[in-house]
Amino acid sequence: MGLDHLAGAPNATQIKFFNEHEGGVSEAGIAVLHPCPSRTSPTSWSRRARWSSCSPIIGKTAQFPLETTIPVKKGDVVALTVPTWAPALALGFGNDTSWRASRPRKQCNSTGAQTTQTLVAGTVQYYCLYQTARLTYSAT
């Protein structure tokens, strides 16, 4: 499995702002999640790939090959995991397009505290639903 990532094209001022306010230089990785019956129930994270810097590919389409294959079973979710920030958000879709984040329920509007699930075999609840936007990545 590899990670295809379509990076947005923030300008130098935006990159500086994100680096200063969103935890450092842009990084992203993938995780394989085992969802529970409810999307807001805890989700177990079984495997993940290492984080890669997005800085060299900002504004380009890139593919990150993995050192080893990550097995994915039917029903698993291949998730984008971002410990800092990543230029991977597309806006302007209808209400039928959405994505979820692992922020606490009352912090869905706050991006100041990073909440990336970092422990393999840990469980996290994905309370925050963001509609009219999607993350621009794919896994093959």
Domain ranges of the chain: 3-139
At 2 the pLDDT is 42
Q: Average model confidence (pLDDT) for the chain? A: 74
Q: What is the DSSP string of 72-119?
A: --TT-EEEEE-SS--S-EEE---TT-EEEE-S-GGGTT--SS-----S
Q: Which of 5, 24, 6 is closest to 16 using CA atoms?
A: 24
Give yes or no for residue 30 having a pLDDT over 50.
Answer: yes
Distance of alpha carbon 29 from alpha carbon 6, whole angstroms: 13
Give yes or no for residue 47 having a pLDDT over 80.
Answer: no
Stretch 16-33: mean pLDDT:
84
0.75 exceeded by the pTM? no
Match 């230089």 to its residue by tokens: 25
pLDDT in tens, 57-115: 666 666 667 777 778 888 888 888 888 888 888 888 899 998 888 887 788 887 666 66
Helix, strand, coil shares, percent, the chain, to 5: 10, 35, 55
More confident residue, 80 or 53: 80
At 95 the pLDDT is 92
